[in-house]
Homo-oligomer: A and B are copies of this chain.
Amino acid sequence: MVDRRSGVPAFRQVASDLREKITAGEYAPGEQLPSERELVDSYGVSRPTVREAVNMLRAEGLVTSEHGRGVFVRPPASIQRMSRARLSREARERNRGAFLADAAARGFTPSTSVKIRFEQADQRAAAHLAIDEGTEITVRDRVMRADGLVVQLAVSRLPRELTRGTAIEEVDTGAGGAYARLEESGHRLGSFVEHVGARMPTPDEATQLQLAEGVPVITVTRVAYTEDGTPVEMNDMVLAADRYELSYEWPAD
């Protein structure tokens, strides 16, 4: 029952109460909550009020609702770690690319689909690649799957000048991936920079990544530089935050 005189909105009281019961383990992961109609009775509020409370918990990522079945406490997803070691030259020598290397190491059946197109660099691409706006660039738009499930979206951009005549403009970039092709054509890589952020997904991303409500995405923009400091590739990645964790390691000095 909610306290009508407290000044706290009824749906917040219901949400808080359910949240406490979930975090206390009273409703265990995977377990079903009482039905909305039952909650209506037990808290003495209308159904829209109960639904607003449940909506809050869904937006927080605490529960998921399944049409015709019920509302369930969301069990924590198993988290994949991605470490920077996946980009070592050594790893490239044995594999097709970073993602396939990663998946193979974990027993997934990986698959990717790639669309290649050519564009003029927009302001952001121009800034990261240190080229003029409007310069022709090669864009590789990839969807990566593990056991059929989409796990990562990635858009890679390179100055067209560097990719002409290489397998980077093909669907299959060959052993070692695009980075190996760049090095073969004389652009030996010197360093990587990754910019990591997070935000809520667009509806489109939510569909593609099959995200539950209340699950943000991690965005990673990686820029690859040659040994002389010239940027040669930028790669925008989008990952489901409930399935990925990124790890970085560096010496203290």
A218 at the A/B interface (Cβ < 8 Å)?
Answer: yes
Q: Are B81 and A252 in contact (CB under 8 A)?
A: no
Tell whether A241 pairs with B216 under 8 Å between CB atoms, given A60-B202, A61-B199, A194-B248: yes
Total copies of this chain within the assembly = 2
- A window 31-64: CB within 8 A of B: 48, 55, 59-61
Q: Which residues of B contact A89 (CB under 8 A)?
A: 252-253
Q: Which residue of B lies closest to A191 (CB)?
A: B251
* Min distance, Cβ A116 to any Cβ of chain B, angstroms: 24
Q: Which residues of B contact A189 (CB under 8 A)?
A: 252
> Can you name 17 extra interface pairs (CB under 8 A) apart from A48-B48, A60-B200, A195-B245?
A16-B203, A59-B200, A59-B213, A60-B203, A61-B199, A84-B250, A90-B253, A192-B252, A195-B246, A196-B247, A196-B248, A197-B218, A197-B244, A197-B245, A198-B218, A199-B215, A200-B214
Interface CB pairs A-B, < 8 A, 14: A89-B252, A90-B253, A188-B252, A191-B249, A192-B249, A192-B250, A194-B247, A194-B249, A195-B247, A197-B244, A198-B218, A199-B216, A200-B216, A227-B252
